[in-house]
């Protein structure tokens, strides 16, 4: 391994710990709690808890986006890892 590959590997692990793991944790939380993730940061706009009901379509779209996000981020990181050792 030359110096460029070592620096690329260090950068990859920093990005993996700093970006990939938190984003995957956020997407997994979105899958487990879709209602909470939709209303995250917006609860102060409502007076009653009854106003916090999103539609089923919105919940399904939110779950789909989180699954798609996990897949895309994983593919991007695998591609980046392969490019380091090319």
pTM of the model: 0.75
Each residue's pLDDT tens digit in the chain (86 positions)? Answer: 788 888 888 888 898 899 999 999 999 999 998 887 877 766 666 666 666 677 888 889 999 999 999 999 999 989 988 887 77
Where exactly are the structural domains of the chain? 1-32+56-86
Residue pair 83/11 in contact by the 8 Å Cβ criterion? no
Tokens of 73: 């981020």
Nearest Cα neighbor of 77 from 5, 10, 32, 13 is 13
């Amino acid at each position: 391994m030359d110096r460029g590959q070592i620096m690329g590997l260090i950068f990859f692990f920093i990005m993996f710990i700093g970006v990939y793991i938190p984003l995957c944790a956020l997407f997994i939380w979105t899958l487990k709690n879709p209602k909470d993730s939709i209303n995250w940061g917006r609860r102060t706009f409502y007076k009653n808890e009854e106003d916090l009901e999103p539609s089923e379509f919105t919940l399904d779209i939110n779950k789909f986006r989180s699954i798609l996000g996990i897949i895309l981020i994983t593919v991007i990181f695998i591609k980046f890892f392969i490019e380091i050792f090319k």
